[in-house]
Amino acid sequence: MLAIGFRFIAGRYHATPWGRHVNEAAVEWPPSPWRIVRALAATWNRKLDRERLRPEVLESLLAALAGAPPVYRLIRGVHAHVRHYMPIRKGKKETNTLVFDAFVRVSREDELVVCWPDVALNEDETGLLDELLGALSFLGRAESWVEARRLEQWQGTPDCVPGGKAIDPVSGDPGDVVSVLCPLPPGEYAGLRAGFLAAGHGRKKKTAATLPESWLDAVSLESSALQAAGWNQPPAARQVLYRRPADSLSPARPAVKRYSPPGAEPVTTVRFVLYGRPLPRMEDAVRIGELARAACMRIAQKRLGRVPSSLSGHGGRGAGCHGHAFFLPEADDRGRIRHLLVHVPAGIGPDEAAAVQELSRLYDGRGGEWELLCEGSGPVAGFSPVSACLARGPAWRSITPYLRPWHAKKRFGTVEQVRRECLLRGLPEPARVTELSEIPLGGRPCRAVHFRRFRKKRGLVQPDTRGTLLRIEFAGPVQGPLALGFGCHFGLGLFVSQDRQQER
């Protein structure tokens, strides 16, 4: 194993990815293996005694680094930039042009680690690498001052690895997929060069000059020469997809200690607003509910070191076994999910509430991504004026289909199961339960079959796969949210108060 640690002693890393214009303000993160290999080659050419250090040792060292893409342990960084109006001359006229200087802002003390798990260097290569790292003064642009060292026995866990999927297959954590430029191994470069020359692409002088026979010369070419020859990618390089943490370039959220005065009501409800284009449809409520639960559990595990039963629903008690969290989407007047409710009837403590409020992003693994902003938290009654799902009233209508939680029998159909469930939840018995053929949603009629009615989790016993739309009337007002039946903790069987409802 070979591991190299980099500390950016100026607190900044400036590097524009290959093929991107500087004014796009894009930053290469993680630092690419292509950039690292070229930096070591440039250091050998400019700073070391080339008569004492043989070039074949350098080539064998860099070839070992090019053999396989490395893994990274990234450090916390923030994507930032500054803007400068630079003077330029056009003919006899002087003018200004806006230039973006983008960089990753990092801590001067944190060390980024690049690791090649399967690389083993000999004594000469190890000695040369130590000299190169000791002489390396910057990585990327000249402003990116760096201190680098070889790590003898690195035992850390990488968090940025080759992979084309945004979801970590082991932990389930979402991430960002980025393209990273890596050097081709010498054998692959030789084959590519031979193919280009055989096809006659090396007839032009500029092109031929960028296809040297030596692999070391190929990785040491000036970028300007490659661009002048028309290459959209260096011929001795390849693009490799990496998965990095989703928050690797986001500002860290400060931990806020919230004061709860004695006798204060416990937090039962947290409300979020969703941002994204397009917003998910209310027909996909159960999918959003499942994504929100998984995201909250990941945050709780990371922040608290455990997942409370109030969020997971595993091993908890209370409210007829429904005291744990409900993840309930709310529709806007277009039938799109604009808000998300996390409602815990049994209440949650300050630590659990803080973990839930950190929820800031949802992924669906198929390109859907939505930002979330916490609007507030507290007892459910505080949200009644702004949410039809959290209102208080006697008449309630389905906004998502109700799925029976038990198998239907002759005298135990949908209406009877609704009545039993209300009694088990401590709610008054409904005065009337009416089945509806359709409901208005976003200005259009929707039937139960238009909704996603199945959980993603496999192996669940689902007595009802069709679903029913209902109107439930009580003798007196009932406090929302009202969610009943199979999948009610994920947005199915959700009702809105008809006294407060706006037509959707």
pLDDT tens for each residue of 55-81: 899 999 999 999 999 999 999 999 998
Q: Last residue of some domain: 160, 182, 217? A: 160
Question: Is the same domain home to 7 and 89?
Answer: yes
Q: How confident is the model at residue 93 (pLDDT cuts 50, 70, 90)?
A: confident
Task: Confirm whether 403 is domain-assigned.
Answer: yes
Task: Confirm whether 193 is domain-assigned.
Answer: no
Question: Is the same domain home to 31 and 132?
Answer: yes
Mean residue pLDDT of the chain comes to 88
Query: 147, 215, 141, 148: which is closest to 184 by C-alpha?
Result: 215
Kindly report the length of the chain. Answer: 504
| CA pair distance 106, 27, nearest whole angstrom | 13
Q: Tens of pLDDT along 204-250?
A: 777 888 899 999 999 999 988 888 888 888 999 999 999 998 878 87
- Per the CB < 8 A criterion, the answer to whether 96 and 76 are in contact is no
Task: Confirm whether 416 is domain-assigned.
Answer: yes
- Per the CB < 8 A criterion, the answer to whether 223 and 198 are in contact is no
Kindly report the number of other CB atoms within 10 A of residue 307's CB atom: 18
For the chain, the distance separating the N- and C-terminal CA atoms, rounded to the nearest angstrom, is 60
User: SS3 of 236, please?
Assistant: coil
Strands (E), 141-247: 147-151, 161-162, 175-183, 237-245
Question: Is the same domain home to 457 and 421?
Answer: yes
Question: Is the same domain home to 309 and 406?
Answer: no
Structural domain total, the chain = 3
The larger pLDDT score, comparing residue 503 to residue 284, is at 284
Instruction: Please give the pLDDT value at position 498.
Output: 87
Check which CATH number belongs to the domain holding 109 and give it: 3.30.70
Amino acid at the residue 438: E
Q: Tens of pLDDT along 134-158?
A: 999 999 999 999 999 999 889 999 9
Q: Which residues contact 350 (CB under 8 A, 6 or more apart)?
A: 258, 260, 267
Question: Is the same domain home to 290 and 333?
Answer: yes
Q: Give the domain range for residue 464.
A: 392-497
Give the global pTM. Answer: 0.60
| CA pair distance 116, 2, nearest whole angstrom | 5
Q: Last residue of some domain: 130, 160, 190? A: 160
The larger pLDDT score, comparing residue 487 to residue 504, is at 487
Instruction: Please give the pLDDT value at position 256.
Output: 45
pLDDT-wise least confident of 86-90, 201-205, 366-370, 424-428? 201-205
Mean pLDDT along residues 296-301 = 91
Instruction: Please give the pLDDT value at position 437.
Output: 93
Question: Is the same domain home to 276 and 406?
Answer: no
Question: Is the same domain home to 358 and 396?
Answer: no
| CA pair distance 20, 388, nearest whole angstrom | 48
Instruction: Please give the pLDDT value at position 503.
Output: 39
| CA pair distance 224, 421, nearest whole angstrom | 72
- Per the CB < 8 A criterion, the answer to whether 365 and 260 are in contact is no
